[in-house]
Chain A
Amino acid sequence: MKSITPPSNNKGLYIGVLFRNQYDNDICTWSPQGRIHQIEYALEAVKQGSAAVGLRSKTHAILLVLKRSSGDLSSYQKKIIKIDDHIGIAIAGLTSDARVLSNFMRTQAMRSKMLFNRPLPVYRIVSAIGDKAQTNTQHYGGRPYGVGLLIVGYDEKGPHLYEFAPSGNFFEYYAMSIGARSQSAKTYLEKHYESFADATLDELVRHGLHALRDTLQQDKEIDTQNCSVGVVGEDQKFETIEGDRLQRYLDLLDGGDTGQGGETVESMDTE
């Protein structure tokens, strides 16, 4: 019988057990494959949060979110934050990071009002947090934000929808979804986005709710409690619609469950 010899150098084994990856210990280290793992982990944190959907027409830009509660005794975590009369955000990921960012965005919006009497152009507020987030990916000892945002706004150039990611990347979209199982919503949006431009507000909300419903787990349904809608548009200040006021929009939904089953990602501190 052949005896099994232990590895002559058990240091390699030790490192292998303690660290999953040699190159993901801080934000400043590249992996030989040309990746910065900490940034990619931050992007993963966004996917732990429940889904948020955004879309826009020629006149409006809207947000729809699925809210979580930690139990029957708890309230649902707020996911839509008003920044100014013309800008609002939906969040997916670490709520506390979102509060830091929204605080900053509100300050920027107030500054523009105070200095120029001008509602801040949406692009500028998004690029401001983009710069802020990028800085966090470049300095040793820091960490990226663990939250993704959908930003809707209405300015002189019409309605806008942006996605912001912890990497500092941001893009403008016709329609977008972030958060857990958001790929299902994206599939719906990709199928229907060409009809969004000329849609009425009601049609837009209906499309949004359908997309959001596709992110649900098999046995769940959206209702007035676990869902919020944010609306901004031409001659319409940003406003969050939730609770009983949402029923009118839920009634617009087609019957039947379009949600597909699948694995669920649950986490206590991400929303």
Chain B
Amino acid sequence: MEWNFDPFSNNSFNHYGNNPINASHSAGGIIQRTQSPKVWGGTTLGVVYQDGVMLAADTLGSWGQLARYRKEERLYPVGNFTAIAYAGDMSDFQYTKHMLDSLMIKEYYINDDHVLSTPHVYEYLSRVMYHRRTKMDPLWNTFIVGGYNNGERFLGYVDLLGTTYQSSAISTGLGAYYAQPILRKAVEGREGLLTEAEAIELLNSCMRVLFYRDCKVINSIQRAKVTAAGVEITEPYSVSSEWGFGEGVRGFGSQKQ
């Protein structure tokens, strides 16, 4: 160790330096934690209906403008009567899935017949999201949490800032602009009247609009319904679409002017 160290010299490393640029993480130096999302899931929809709640999402994980993963399931059950849908970063969602699975397993093994119902899962998720944004290291997701417990329907929103709200119709991504008005018009005030068939038709027609308008939505979608019977998630399916009008549109497809 050199004891005749010259603090004004540039020649050697300063062992006693307190400049935060040189300091390691554990010494409290500057660290860059804020992330940017890589593989991205887009629009999700959620509505309340007669028998419970229904969620919908397409199965696309985008990598920038590239439609990178075309069969990515974006709906996930948590316990027996809760389902979540995510938009945003895929890896952060995988982390969240793991976290919630661990939580449910831990609860199960307490073995006292107490189960985390949807509002409890929702509260937990929102606490985690707010905690992570406070660490300047957010989970880059927007979640819709839906569930049905003891005759109560639940539909809630939570995002990467920890912002929460509950409503009978929720959508994320561009769906918040294209689909939200359609959902509200169909659902609000009719929560107890909307039948399952009507809810399916409503979500299908919203996904069709999004497929037409949002270039990061593909025509492969899934629905989750949560009722007294539990969570049911459909296989990916397509909705009908009509592109015949393109024939008369200048610049459509590969045709020359």
**Chain A interface residues toward B at CB < 8 A:** 114-118, 121, 123-124, 155-157
Contact = CB atoms under 8 A, between A and B. Distances in A.
Contact of A124 (B110, B123, B127): B110
B242 interface: no
Given A121-B114, A123-B112, A157-B113, 11 more contacts: A114-B127, A118-B116, A118-B120, A118-B123, A121-B112, A123-B114, A124-B110, A124-B114, A155-B114, A156-B114, A157-B114
Nearest to A157: B113
25 contacts: A114-B127, A115-B123, A115-B124, A115-B127, A116-B116, A116-B120, A116-B123, A116-B124, A117-B119, A117-B120, A117-B123, A118-B116, A118-B120, A118-B123, A121-B112, A121-B114, A123-B112, A123-B114, A124-B110, A124-B112, A124-B114, A155-B114, A156-B114, A157-B113, A157-B114
Nearest to B110: A124
B236 to A, nearest CB: 33
Contacts of B119: 117
A156 B112 CA distance: 11
A121 B120 CA distance: 13
Interface string B116-128: 1001100110010
Contacts of A116: 116, 120, 123-124
A114 B124 CA distance: 8
**Among all A-B residue pairs, the 6 with the closest Cβ atoms:** A117-B123, A116-B120, A121-B114, A123-B112, A118-B120, A116-B123
Contacts of A156: 114
B18 to A, nearest CB: 38
Interface in B95-153: 110, 112-114, 116, 119-120, 123-124, 127
Contacts of A123: 112, 114
